[in-house]
Structure 1
Amino acid sequence: MPAADGGDSAPADAILPQAARLCVHVDGAVKNPGVYYLDAGARVIDAVEAAGGLTKKALTASVNLAQGLEDGQQVLIPSTDSTPSSSSGSHDGAGASDGAGAASIGKIHSSGSASTGNNLVNINEAGVEELVTLSGIGEATAAKIVADREANGPFASLEDLKRVSGIGDKKFEALRDAICL
């Protein structure tokens, strides 16, 4: 039945679905690093703006500011103070390598390299070239890691790496201190 003003309207007590929200961690060369809640469909630029914008030392050439965000993602903006010594593999500009979704959610950080500033290799972002830099990981195992990630989605925990054929408890323990999400 139309409302008294002639238009259709929802009853005042109707509960409308709340828009999906994303929780992202913004760090690095932004004015106010921290955890921010953004609307679904937000992009890296939206997270940067929520964090007060870029600092003067921000390096955005290796960051895809247009990349979509996923819940739990970490957006890491590199700075002139924290540039990695080398960057291997192909990146989509927001931290993902070789076509693997940067949305390593739960924990994806967005930087120019899948290695973090403390030289950890992000197993949700690193390509074969970077994974082979890990002790005990050859090209075949690195390719299996990338293939598993593409087929099954990002690793939710470091231990999920053991789902890859060829990585058992012993090899995982040897890698644990060199990897991150």
Structure 2
Amino acid sequence: MEWLKNKRTKKLLRLAKNYQVSLILALLGFTLLGAGLSIAKFSRQSSDPQFISAQGDQNGEEIVVDIAGAVNKPGVYSLPAGSRVSEAVDKASGLSGEADKAWVAQNLNFAAKLADGQKIYIPAIGQAGKVDTGTVAGQAAGKININTAPSGELDTLPGIGPVTAQKIIASRPYAATEELLSKKVVGASTFEKIKDKVTIY
């Protein structure tokens, strides 16, 4: 009887030992599974694209421009400082069907930066030759807009040649005509010749 009892005890101990090993393995498996799920979740979150909303001008500064003529929605618009002529045209819902696109292609610099208070005028077909060029494409009457005028037009100013015209374009935008002097684009004598013939809007 004692022998049978010892045999049963050994068998129970052996079973308990086997179950203990299985339990440890099971716990280890659950631990590894949990760790794997956490890593997978972290990897998935890390690989997700991060969308950042464009905030426009970082300083929040704005300019106001007036766009008129052959555009779909002429008017006065606020734009972030540093905006281009193309953005003003987009704001006005683009050129209208009446716009003189040949004139625009030759005379309007869509890449030029806008200045606060600037006026842009887009002539209709047949109008460009009748309207004083001083009132077209952001120019005050009888004056050339140093912020938007193309090189060929700047070249018509007294004392301004092709090289200086390119310097004027490269130094845009201007908040005042006097910046031609402060930015060292032209000398004092040349500025005296052109100061009454140029504008910034």
Normalised by the length of structure 1, the TM-score is: 0.49
Of the two, which has the highest radius of gyration? 2
